[in-house]
Amino acid sequence: MINDRTKVKDILESDKTGYSVTVKGWVRTFRSNRFIALNDGSSQYNLQAVVDFEKYDPALLRRITTGAAISIHGEIVASRGAGQRVELQVQSLEVLGDCDPEKYPLQPKKHSLEFLREIAHLRFRTNTFGAVFRIRHALAFAIHQFFNKRGFVYLHSPVITASDAEGAGEMFRVTTLDLNDVPKTTDGQIDYKLDFFGRPTNLTVSGQLEAELGALALGDVYTFGPTFRAENSNTPRHLAEFWMIEPEMAFYDLEDNMNLAEQMLKYLITYLLKHNADDLDFLEKRLLDEEKQKPQQERSDMSLMEKLTFCCEQPFERITYTEAIDILLQSSALKKKKFQYPVAWGVDLQSEHERYLVEKHFKKPVIITGYPKEIKAFYMRQNTDDKTVAAMDILFPGIGEIIGGSQREERYEKLVQRMEEMHIPAKEMFWYLDTRRFGSCPHAGYGLGFERMMMFVTGMSNIRDVIPFPRTPKNAEF
């Protein structure tokens, strides 16, 4: 049997010694022709395997190079060296896959994140990205666990859709038409009737509208899947393909929505602090080293673990958009012209404004409600003042907005009126409007960008470093 192995993590977490195991993994280092640092991806830490080099063919030992895949059978014993509690005394050794040390780009030294992005197919083997992607797995698992415990139904929303949920227009078109010979109608337009779906279609920008359909029958649902934006942006905060968590709940108002979102964020962070402490500890040290290279004024006020604990222990402050604007207008930061972007009622808050509210003014996570309707989506419930909508954004330290949501407009006439104002064709959205015509009810939901949450919990500053294979302008490798 080829899979007769014990994982490194299980060995390192056990107090047992004096037993035989087979371990398989990749060589990180091989020192003094005697000490192999082996990692199999299950843990941040390596298992030290000790070889009696006199018992092995020198030709075999020369094949034990950084990056080589090997299988070792031996006995777990108490370590006599510093830095590890146990080690593996090698009894037999096999090289499963050679790795040419002259060509292997991941030598045992520190590599820049920029360099690792250029070899994203190999970066999983580094300590940093091993930690990041174990955390990504744990975070995804915790999300499903959170909703499953509360009786939510996991709904798979379509990746290919004919609607633009956000009205953004920055969509990837899906077509099977021959781009070298595009069929045209008599008036010179593209003849989509000859396309696969018989109409224009695109990759989804959000699963929210479809999730609402599910919620208005199943009660509480959530989607968790990829979404796409054809936005030609090369910033450290934008991807063309990213993942979204979008719960939708029937019979919820805005307060219910805020309560659930706060509970979820605290649950996810608490889960990682409990189950991924080693990976978080490594990333915190990496971040501290990175911060030392920055000017003092650009350094974070909190370490990674302090930031995570801060969000778990503090009750979230809840204020209106109008109150937020008043605070910013009276702030010393505005008076000293430290804000790059203007502050006035009606503007969309920028990250610098959001971070000021969280980090300087309230010193706790903040939920802002009651945004001007002009800067929010058509489906948000209109407030009685006819100026604002029942929207909410949750702001976190170091990142600003992490969740955006709202109570949805359940009143048919109000929704149609708002769609007309925003030039959204009601005829194409008949299926969405039907839920307001047949048994409508108050309901709410929100969206959490998975990669945005990953950046927050890992301390990584570039969104391309928290997704396995980033899709950005002019970049679609693998």
Say which amino acid occupies 202: N
Please compute the mean of the pLDDT values over residues 42-71 and round it to a whole number: 96
The ranges assigned to domains in the chain are 8-107, 125-170+205-465
CA dihedral (95, 98, 102, 107) positive or negative: negative
pLDDT band of residue 4 (cuts 50, 70, 90) is confident
Query: Cβ contacts of residue 128 below 8 Å, gap of 6+?
Result: 113, 116, 282, 283, 286
Please compute the mean of the pLDDT values over residues 30-42 and round it to a whole number: 97
Phi first, then psi, for residue 459 (nearest 5°) are 80, 5
Global confidence as pTM: 0.94
Please compute the mean of the pLDDT values over residues 323-333 and round it to a whole number: 97
pLDDT at 477 over 90: no
pLDDT at 168 over 60: no
What mean pLDDT value characterizes the chain? 94
Cα radius of gyration (the chain): 27
Strands 86-97 and 160-161: unpaired
CA dihedral (364, 272, 302, 459) positive or negative: negative
DSSP state string for 284-311: HHHHHHHHTTS-GGGS-SS-HHHHHHHH
State how far the Cα of 290 lies from the Cα of 461, in Å rounded to an integer: 10
Let me know: does 373 contact 356? Beta carbons within 8 Å: no
Angle at 238 between CA 477 and CA 142, to 5 degrees: 90
State how far the Cα of 407 lies from the Cα of 389, in Å rounded to an integer: 8
Q: Under CATH, what is the fold of the domain 8-107? A: OB fold (Dihydrolipoamide Acetyltransferase, E2P) (2.40.50)
Please compute the mean of the pLDDT values over residues 169-180 and round it to a whole number: 92
pLDDT at 51 over 60: yes
pLDDT at position 162: 87
| CATH match of 125-170+205-465 with 3.30.930.10 | yes
State how far the Cα of 405 lies from the Cα of 258, in Å rounded to an integer: 8
pLDDT at 369 over 90: yes
pLDDT at 45 over 60: yes
pLDDT at position 1: 62
pLDDT at position 478: 79
Q: Shortest CA distance to 382 belongs to which of 348, 345, 421?
A: 421
Distances (CA, A) of 119 to 69, 124, 131, 375: 19, 10, 17, 40
pLDDT band of residue 60 (cuts 50, 70, 90) is very high
More confident: 290 or 47: 47
pLDDT at position 298: 74
pLDDT at position 165: 63
Which residue reads 């744990």 in tokens?
138
pLDDT at position 67: 97
pLDDT at position 72: 98
- Where in 397-437 does DSSP place strands (E)? 400-407
pLDDT at 300 over 90: no
pLDDT at 2 over 80: no
pLDDT band of residue 237 (cuts 50, 70, 90) is confident
What secondary structure letter does DSSP report for 227? E
Let me know: does 403 contact 420? Beta carbons within 8 Å: no
pLDDT at 9 over 70: yes
More confident: 145 or 296: 145
State how far the Cα of 168 lies from the Cα of 171, in Å rounded to an integer: 8
What secondary structure letter does DSSP report for 46? P
pLDDT at 299 over 90: no
pLDDT at 169 over 80: no
Query: Cβ contacts of residue 194 below 8 Å, gap of 6+?
Result: 177, 183
pLDDT at position 166: 62
Lowest mean pLDDT among 73-82, 156-165, 249-258, 456-465: 156-165
Same fold, 8-107 and 125-170+205-465: no
Tally Cβ neighbours within 10 Å of residue 207. 28
Helical residues (DSSP H) of 18-159, grouped into ranges: 58-62, 113-118, 127-149
DSSP state string for 321-348: HHHHHHHHHT-HHHHTT--SS---TTSP
pLDDT at 251 over 60: yes
